[in-house]
Amino acid sequence: MKLTGNTIVVTGGSSGIGKELVERFLALGNKVVTCGRRKERLAQLRARFPDLSVFTCDVSDEAQRKAFAEWVGVSHPAANVLVNNAGVQLVMDFTRPLDLGRVRSEVETNFIAPLHFASLFASILAKKEGAAIVNISSGLAFSPLAFMPVYCATKAAIHSFTLSLRRQMRDLGIMVYEIAPPAVDSELGRERWPKGQSSHGGMPVPEFVAAMLKALEADLPEAAIGQAEGMRAKREGLFEAMNH
């Protein structure tokens, strides 16, 4: 994938990987559009980067996804790259009564939103030079952690969906990439960390994003970064060791 001269839509740019992607893509000479729920975070980012376009949007809501895609189509018709990055990670205990609302919200954010965006953006991206969709899965797509079962299942679904999407988008000239991150030291799942803890020892966000951009530039359709590479290679064989 060409890393400069694009108009790139990154979902979930208000923190972590998405925020770093926004900054790196801008620095590389791209136009960048991003969205998230936290309006003040997006406003802070825009204050630092006046060329950045931001849109407040909850991607777990169908109407808001449509509104975002429509707005991009009108305001940024040159958009040629979509990065499906926004995601949440919830702990769930299936031995207790289940809160289906939490399940639906995680599945809607991590799985339904990326696939809906792929279809909403297909006509915007189609036949453009350098057209691409980048889906963010996880090493946990291949070797799940049992205390976050739905999260891992959504990422496994993203992996499978990406294989099919790549085939379907071929005739529209849209390249489809999958990036599987390892544990990255972002804000993901931070709400369950002990008070005062600011890192879980994962890969630093800038290091991960540098590796991700290198993989995209090398045009690898699917890249597992850092420890995710071993998880992808060993798959469920790692399950016992990881959940010991």
What residues are annotated to the active site?
151
Count of residues engaged in binding ligand NAP, rule: CB under 6 A: 31
Residues 55-94 within binding reach of ligand NAP (CB under 6 A):
57-60, 85-89
Q: Which stretch binds ligand NAP (CB under 6 A): 2-10, 179-187, 211-219, 233-241?
A: 179-187
Q: How far is the CB of 164 from ligand NAP (least distance, A)?
A: 19
**28-51: burial string, b at 16+ Cβ within 10 Å, e else:** bebbbbbbbbeeebbeebeeeeee
Q: Is 187 in the site for ligand NAP (CB under 6 A)?
A: yes
Alpha carbon distance 106, 65 (integer Å): 15
- Name the residue type at position 68: F
Q: Which stretch binds ligand NAP (CB under 6 A): 31-39, 74-82, 126-134, 213-221?
A: 31-39
| H-helix segments, 108-148 | 113-125
- Taking the least distance from each CB to ligand NAP, the nearer of 16 and 128 is 16
Q: Is 18 in the site for ligand NAP (CB under 6 A)?
A: yes
Number of H helices, E strands in the chain: 9, 7
- Per-residue binding string, ligand NAP, 105-134, x by CB under 6 A, is ----x-------------------------
From residue 54, give the alpha-carbon distance in Å to each of 37, 38, 136, 172, 201: 11, 11, 20, 27, 30
Q: Is 37 in the site for ligand NAP (CB under 6 A)?
A: yes
8 A C-beta contact, residue 10 and residue 31: no
Alpha carbon distance 7, 26 (integer Å): 10
Q: How far is the CB of 171 from ligand NAP (least distance, A)?
A: 27
Burial of 202 (0-12, 13-18, 19+ CB in 10 A): middle
Q: Is 202 in the site for ligand NAP (CB under 6 A)?
A: yes
Q: Kindly tell me which residue out of 6, 9, 16, 79 binds ligand NAP, with binding defined by CB under 6 A.
A: 16
Q: H-helix or E-strand containing 10?
A: strand 7-11
Q: Is 181 in the site for ligand NAP (CB under 6 A)?
A: yes
8 A C-beta contact, residue 34 and residue 10: yes
Q: Is 15 in the site for ligand NAP (CB under 6 A)?
A: yes
- Chain residues that interact with ligand NAP, rule: CB under 6 A: 12-18, 35-38, 41, 57-60, 85-89, 109, 136, 138, 181, 183-184, 186-188, 202
